[in-house]
C-alpha cells in the first residue's frame, strides 16, 4: 500500500447518548469513500471490560465479530455495512484493553522504575492505538464512545487534544454530535444544551470544528447563527441532522448539508466527485418496496432490539434486493410450547431461530423448528438456531428422544457437543471459536444455490459443534450436510431433503451482510419466504 498522509477525524457526542454517533461516523466514512478516498473507522469505548464479549447483549446490544476474531462493539457492524470493508481487532478499543496493556508492561518492568500514570502512560497507549493506521489510509475516523463529560472517557479526550496539537488543524478535525431539543411550551428549539456541551469540550482543550445537531425540526438561520457564535464554530459548520426514515438515508442527508465537502475543505484536500448513485437506488428500494413478508425471529433477548442488530440489518439489505419489506415478528422462545406453536407461528412466511447462549427458551426454539419442518415453512437457523435444528431432527425424525446439546445436558445422544480444543478452557473472554473460517459447499444444495461458489469464509462465535458421531444416522434420515470445513472435521451448514428451504448454519452470516449487496443466504431466505407468502 502506498504511504498516505493520513488525516484524523474525531467524533464525540454531547448532551445525551443514543444520538447516532455510530451512524454519523459510518455515513461520513461512506461519503469520503465515495469521493475516492481510503477510509477506516475506529471505535474507542470507555468501559473497563477488555471487550464486550462477556457483556450481556441485553445491556450492551449485539457483540459484533471481525474476520480476525475480535469481539467488538456493534458500531463496528455499522462501519463494515456502510463502507463495505472489513475492520480488524485494532478498530475496536476499550479502556480495559488499554489499562490491561499498560499494567502488563508495568509488571514486566518496562517502565524502568517510573510511576505509571494516566498521563502520559495511559494516554500514550491510547495514542499508539489511535494512530495505528497512520500512513495506511487517507482518512481515519475515530468515534469516542459515551458522552463528553463522562469521567471514563477523559483519557480518550486528553489524547485527542494531544494528537490535534501534535498534528495540527490541517491533519485533524473534531466533529461533535449534539442535540437541539424542541420545547413545546416555548414553541422553540433550544441551543443551551449544545452550548454547554461545546463548552465542556473546550474546557478539555478541544475546539469543535463541526457540530452535527440532531433535531426533530429544521434549524432556522437564527438558531444556526446562535449556535455558531456561542460554540465558536463557523456558521456553515453547524449542520442540521434531522431524523431519517431509514438509517441508510443519513449519508444522503449529510451530503445535502455538505458535511463531506466542509471536512475536505478544512483539510485543504481536493473535493473530488461524490458518487452516491448505487447507494441512493438501494435507499429508494428500502423506502418503496413492492412486496412484504412476515418473518418470525425466535430468540430470547426480544426486549432489546439491539441484541440482534446485524440480523435486522441483514433483513433490510436482503429485503431491498428482493424489493420486499421484511416485517420482523418478535417471538419470545420461552412462550412457545408444542400445544401453542401452530397458533403463534401460523401467519409467518418464514422463521429464523437466533443465535444465543444458555438453556432459557431452548425447548421453545426446538418446537418452532419442528413447526417449520413439518409445515414446510422456510427456516433459517443461525448458530444456536442450527444446533437446535439438529437436536429437533435427531429427536423427532431420527427417533433419539433424549437428543440434546452438551451445553445443556450431560449423558448420551449429545448431537451437539464441545470440540476437543474447547474442553479445557476455563476463561470466558475471547476463548470461543471466533472469527473467519473457510467452509466448502457441496454442489446441488440450497447453500450452493445461494453463494454460487464451492468455497466461502464466514465468521464464527461459539464453543459447541455438530457431533460427528451422529453424521451417518442423521444423513440416513434425510439431513444434508451441505457445508463442511476443508479438513472435513466440522459441519458448518445443514439442510433437509423434502423441504422448500431449510438451512442451518454454524456461523454468523449476519456479520457479513453489507448495505447494497446483502448476504446470499439472507437474500435467498427472504426469497423463499416470499414464495411461501400466506396472504
Ligand atoms: N451457545 C452455542 C455455542 O456456544 C451457540 C452460540 C451462538 O449461537 N453464537 O456453541
Integer angstrom CA distances of residue 70 from 90, 130, 459, 465? 9, 17, 10, 20
- The confidence score (pLDDT) of residue 535 equals 61
For ligand 1, atom 6, name the residue with the nearest CA: 462
Nearest to 390 by CA among 520, 481, 458: 481
Say what the pLDDT of residue 375 is: 96
Question: How far is the CA of 438 from the CAs of 27, 212, 455, 457, 507, in angstroms?
Answer: 31, 42, 7, 4, 10
Provide the pLDDT for residue 115: 94
Per-residue pLDDT at 16: 80
Q: What is the DSSP letter of 412?
A: S
User: In the chain, what's the furthest Cα-to-Cα distance?
Assistant: 75
**Which residue is closest in CA terms to ligand 1's atom 8?**
355
* Residue from 417, 463, 490 to probe ligand 1 pocket by mutation (most atoms less than 8 Å from CB): 463
CB 502 within 8 A of CB 392: no
Set 176, 460, 462, 508: catalytic member: 508
Candidates 20, 92, 89, 80; CA nearest to 514 is 80
Per the listing, cell 466461502 goes with 456
Q: End-to-end CA distance of the chain: give it in Å, rounded.
A: 54
Interatomic CA distance for residues 87 and 90, integer angstroms: 8
Name the active-site residue from 121, 367, 510, 519. Answer: 510
pLDDT of residue 302: 63
Query: What is the Cα–Cα distance from 52 to 45, expressed in whole angstroms?
Result: 10
Residue 358 CA to ligand 1 center (angstroms) comes to 8
* Cα of 416 from ligand 1 centre, angstroms: 10
Length reported for the chain: 535
| Alpha-carbon gap, residue 357 to 412, rounded angstroms | 21
Q: Please state at what angle helix 277-287 crosses helix 309-321, rounded to 10 degrees.
A: 100
Say whether the peptide bond before residue 120 is cis (omega within 30 degrees of 0).
yes
Q: Who lines ligand 1 at CB under 6 A?
A: 355-357, 383-384, 407, 461-464
Sequence-separated (6 or more) residues with CB below 8 Å from residue 21: 11, 12, 13, 75, 143, 145, 177
How far is 36 from 275, CA to CA, in rounded Å?
9
Q: From the candidates 383, 458, 465, 519, give the one annotated as an active-site residue.
A: 383
User: Residue 268 is placed in which grid cell?
Assistant: 485543504
Q: Are 162 and 130 in contact (CB under 8 A)?
A: no
Could you give the strand order of the β-sheet that contains 464-466, starting from the edge strand earlier in sequence?
A: 404-405, 414-418, 464-466
Atom 1 of ligand 1, residue of closest alpha carbon: 357
Element (H, E) at 82: helix 75-83
SS3 content of the chain, % helix, strand, coil (to 5): 40, 25, 35
Distance from the alpha carbon of residue 433 to the mean position of ligand 1, in angstroms: 10
pLDDT computed for residue 491 by the predictor: 96
Which ligand 1 atom is at minimum distance from the Cα of 385?
Answer: 8
Q: Which atom of ligand 1 is nearest to the CA of 354?
A: 8
Tell me whether residue 245 is one of the annotated catalytic residues: no
Question: Is 383 one of the annotated active-site residues of the chain?
Answer: yes
Is position 510 annotated as part of the catalytic site?
A: yes
6 sits in which H/E element: none
CA of 476 to the centre of ligand 1 (A): 26
Cα separation, 95 vs 50, in Å, equals: 7
pLDDT value for 2: 81
Residue 308 and residue 326: Cα distance in Å, rounded?
Answer: 15
Q: What pLDDT does residue 425 have?
A: 66
Q: What is the pLDDT along the chain (535 residues), one digit of tens a residue?
A: 689 899 999 999 987 877 899 999 999 999 999 999 999 999 999 999 888 887 877 777 899 999 999 999 999 999 999 999 999 999 999 999 999 999 999 999 999 989 999 999 999 999 999 999 999 999 999 999 999 989 999 999 999 999 999 999 999 999 999 999 999 998 899 999 999 999 999 999 999 999 999 999 999 999 999 999 999 999 999 999 998 999 999 999 999 999 999 999 999 999 989 999 999 999 999 999 999 999 999 998 666 778 899 999 999 999 999 999 999 999 999 888 888 878 889 999 999 999 999 888 999 999 999 999 999 999 999 999 999 999 999 999 999 999 999 999 988 999 999 876 666 666 667 778 999 999 999 999 999 999 999 999 999 999 999 999 999 999 999 999 999 999 999 999 999 999 999 999 999 999 999 999 999 999 999 999 999 987 6
Amino acid at each position: 500500500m502506498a504511504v498516505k498522509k493520513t488525516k484524523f477525524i474525531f467524533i464525540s457526542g454531547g448532551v445525551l447518548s443514543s444520538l447516532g454517533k455510530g451512524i454519523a461516523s459510518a455515513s461520513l466514512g461512506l461519503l469520503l469513500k465515495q469521493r475516492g478516498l481510503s477510509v477506516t473507522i475506529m471505535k474507542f469505548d470507555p468501559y473497563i471490560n477488555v471487550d464486550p464479549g462477556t457483556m450481556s447483549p441485553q445491556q450492551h446490544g449485539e457483540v459484533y465479530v471481525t474476520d480476525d476474531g475480535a469481539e467488538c462493539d456493534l458500531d463496528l457492524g455499522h462501519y463494515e455495512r456502510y463502507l463495505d470493508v472489513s475492520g480488524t481487532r485494532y478498530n475496536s478499543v476499550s479502556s480495559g484493553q488499554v489499562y490491561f496493556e499498560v499494567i502488563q508492561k508495568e509488571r514486566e518492568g518496562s517502565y524502568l522504575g517510573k510511576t505509571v500514570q494516566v498521563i502520559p502512560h495511559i494516554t500514550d497507549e491510547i495514542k499508539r492505538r489511535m494512530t495505528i493506521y497512520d500512513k495506511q489510509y487517507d482518512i481515519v475516523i475515530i468515534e469516542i464512545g459515551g458522552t463528553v463529560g463522562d469521567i471514563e472517557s477523559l483519557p480518550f479526550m486528553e489524547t485527542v487534544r494531544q494528537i490535534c496539537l501534535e498534528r495540527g488543524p490541517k491533519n485533524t478535525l473534531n466533529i461533535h454530535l449534539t442535540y437541539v431539543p424542541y420545547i413545546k411550551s416555548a414553541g422553540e428549539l433550544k441551543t443551551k444544551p449544545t452550548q454547554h456541551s461545546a463548552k465542556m469540550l473546550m474546557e478539555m482543550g478541544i475546539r469543535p470544528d463541526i457540530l452535527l445537531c440532531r433535531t426533530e425540526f429544521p434549524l432556522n438561520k437564527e438558531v444556526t447563527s446562535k449556535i455558531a457564535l456561542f460554540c465558536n464554530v463557523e456558521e456553515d459548520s453547524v449542520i442540521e441532522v434531522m431524523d431519517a426514515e431509514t438509517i441508510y438515508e443519513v449519508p444522503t442527508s449529510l451530503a445535502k448539508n455538505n458535511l463531506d465537502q466542509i471536512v475536505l475543505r478544512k483539510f485543504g484536500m481536493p473535493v473530488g466527485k461524490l458518487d452516491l448513485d448505487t447507494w441512493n437506488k438501494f435507499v429508494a428500494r428500502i423506502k418503496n418496496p413492492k412486496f412484504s413478508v412476515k418473518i418470525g425471529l425466535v430468540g430470547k433477548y426480544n426486549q432489546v432490539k439491539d441484541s440482534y442488530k446485524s440480523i435486522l440489518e441483514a433483513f433490510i439489505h436482503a429485503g431491498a434486493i428482493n424489493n420486499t419489506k421484511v416485517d420482523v415478528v418478535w417471538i419470545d422462545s420461552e412462550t412457545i410450547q408444542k400445544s401453542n406453536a401452530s397458533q403463534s407461528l401460523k401467519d409467518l412466511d418464514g422463521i429464523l431461530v437466533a443465535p444465543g447462549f444458555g438453556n432459557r427458551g431452548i425447548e421453545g426454539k426446538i418446537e418452532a423448528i419442528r413447526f417449520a419442518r413439518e409445515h414446510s415453512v422456510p427456516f433459517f437457523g443461525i448458530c444456536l438456531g442450527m444446533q437446535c435444528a439438529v437436536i429437533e431432527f435427531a429427536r423427532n425424525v431420527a427417533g433419539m428422544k433424549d437428543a440434546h446439546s452438551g451445553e445443556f445436558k450431560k449423558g448420551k445422544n449429545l448431537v451437539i457437543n464441545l470440540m476437543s480444543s474447547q474442553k479445557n478452557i476455563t476463561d470466558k473472554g475471547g476463548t470461543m471459536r471466533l472469527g473467519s473460517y473457510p467452509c466448502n459447499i457441496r454442489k446441488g444444495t440450497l447453500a450452493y444455490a445461494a453463494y454460487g461458489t464451492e468455497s466461502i469464509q464466514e465468521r464464527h462465535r461459539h464453543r459447541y459443534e455438530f457431533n460427528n458421531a451422529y453424521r451417518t444416522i442423521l444423513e440416513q434420515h434425510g439431513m444434508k450436510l451441505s457445508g463442511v470445513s476443508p479438513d472435513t472435521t466440522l459441519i458448518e451448514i445443514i439442510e433437509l431433503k423434502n423441504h422448500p428451504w431449510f438451512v442451518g448454519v454454524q456461523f454468523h452470516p449476519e456479520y457479513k451482510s453489507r448495505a447494497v449487496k446483502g448476504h446470499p443466504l439472507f437474500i435467498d431466505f427472504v426469497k423463499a419466504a416470499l414464495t411461501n407468502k400466506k396472504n
